[in-house]
Amino acid sequence: MNKYRIISIVSFTIAIILLISMLFKPTLTEIKSVETCSQTTILTSLDEPSILPDWKDGEYHDYQGTTQMLNSFNSKFPGLVDIFSIGQSVKKRDIWCVKITNENNHKNKYSCVIDGCIHGSEWEAGEACLYLAEYLLINFGKNQTVSDILNNSEIYIIPILNPDGREKDDRFNENGIDLNRNFDVHFGRIRGGSLPLGKLFGFIKIPYIQRPEIIEKLGLDKYFINKYWTNSGREPFSEPETRAIRDLMRSIGPSFSFYVNCHTAMHGIFSIVDISYKPEFETTSQEIKVLTNTLDWFGENTEYDIMYPDDFLHPGSGMIHHWVFKEFRIPSICFEILSKDYEPWLGKGPHDNLVHWMKTILPAFLYLLVNIENLHDWESPENMPPLPEGVPPEPI
């Protein structure tokens, strides 16, 4: 083969290769449009309005159901969910906490704690925690607001703080103690509804006063202010459940930004209240302003009655949300879910319209979450959360 033949074959081959590469190589415009397309896909999906968990009325989650639900969150959303026990109840049930955050985002985040069923008979308080958790998980990566929330914050949710009480449908823990009177703030004050009693000789439960109407009938409520008295334990943090939540909160550190304690059924939202005896903590005008602004928003965007810091409410002693404010100086809020039509004291579950009540309180959670940075810094919470369709629902 002469060299001209070789050159022409080589040239022909090169020409063919060049032609093929030109035909199949994506042009600059094509690359751009592919990138735009993938960006558009992400943006479009983050633009999706958030959706609500698919819950049915009457489908409550007891301790076992709650445990199963948390485990299913863990398997469905492994990059968003961490489940751990913060301690055990008197009857050795684990108190589960689910920490929800985008674990792939390693920036410094703000933290908050939300819990339910400190009173075991207040079932919807625990359900509201689960509903919020599921709402956040199913909307992450699809809805911008929820994605921002989980990129920005670590949300510690403890749906059942009092597992033994929840299992027996009882307000109290296994020792007969009202856990929401067992914290180290105004502890054991009789005027604050507390009898500083534990178990007699360490094993006999001391009965509590269950019948507020008897106190009303005798006119004693006029003198003692509080007609609901419960046993607070002999000393602060005498109970394993209160020690567990205390230790969790103390482990969080300076990122801790706000706290929500869920109850039923007073149909109200409140924060720290001006109690009738000498307060154990002072408040600044800026703190009162931020709490008032927050409560104002709840008043306008939920159906709940609002108690402002200078309103007189029940001067409960040893209550967790007062202790959180005293200990951590962060906004600390109580949600009293459900209608006033239900017995507000021993209001046992289940009730009608579970899904409705979940929707009534969701806006309040979202408002706190989109303002977590402001709340951390005690600045006015001015961010408005876009709410899903049908939220808040029409009052029933």
336: left (phi over 0), alpha (psi -120 to 50) or beta: beta
**Surface-to-core class of residue 261, CB atoms within 10 Å of its CB (0-12 exposed, 13-18 middle, 19+ buried):** buried
Between the two ends of the chain, the Cα-to-Cα distance in Å is 96
Q: What is the DSSP string of 133-199?
A: HHHHHHHTTTBHHHHHHHHHEEEEEES-S-HHHHHHT-SS-TTS--GGG-SSSSTT-GGGTEE----
Q: Which is nearer to Zn ion, 110 or 131 (CB)?
A: 131
Q: How far apart are CB 223 and Zn ion at their closest, in Å?
A: 24
Tally of CA atoms within 13 A in the half-sphere of 75 that contains its CB: 5
Q: Which is nearer to Zn ion, 188 or 268 (CB)?
A: 268
Q: Which is nearer to Zn ion, 170 or 303 (CB)?
A: 170
Q: How far apart are CB 269 and Zn ion at their closest, in Å?
A: 13
Q: Which is nearer to Zn ion, 122 or 241 (CB)?
A: 122
CA distance 214 to 179: 24
Q: Which is nearer to Zn ion, 155 or 319 (CB)?
A: 319
Q: How far apart are CB 377 and Zn ion at their closest, in Å?
A: 30
Q: How far apart are CB 141 and Zn ion at their closest, in Å?
A: 35
Q: How far apart are CB 187 and Zn ion at their closest, in Å?
A: 18
Q: Which is nearer to Zn ion, 61 or 376 (CB)?
A: 61
The residue ranges that bind Zn ion (CB under 5 A) are 119, 122, 263
Q: Tokens for 120, please give them.
A: 């075991």
**Surface-to-core class of residue 189, CB atoms within 10 Å of its CB (0-12 exposed, 13-18 middle, 19+ buried):** buried
Dmax (CA) of the chain: 124
Q: Which is nearer to Zn ion, 117 or 372 (CB)?
A: 117
Q: How far apart are CB 282 and Zn ion at their closest, in Å?
A: 27
CA distance 391 to 350: 22
Q: How far apart are CB 122 and Zn ion at their closest, in Å?
A: 5
Residue number, nearest CB to Zn ion: 263
Give which of 132, 133, 122, 149 is closest to 46, Cα–Cα.
149
57: left (phi over 0), alpha (psi -120 to 50) or beta: beta
Q: Using CA of residue 334, residue 338, residue 344, residue 349, what is the dihedral sign?
A: negative
CA distance 387 to 145: 10
Q: How far apart are CB 118 and Zn ion at their closest, in Å?
A: 7
Q: Which is nearer to Zn ion, 109 or 181 (CB)?
A: 181
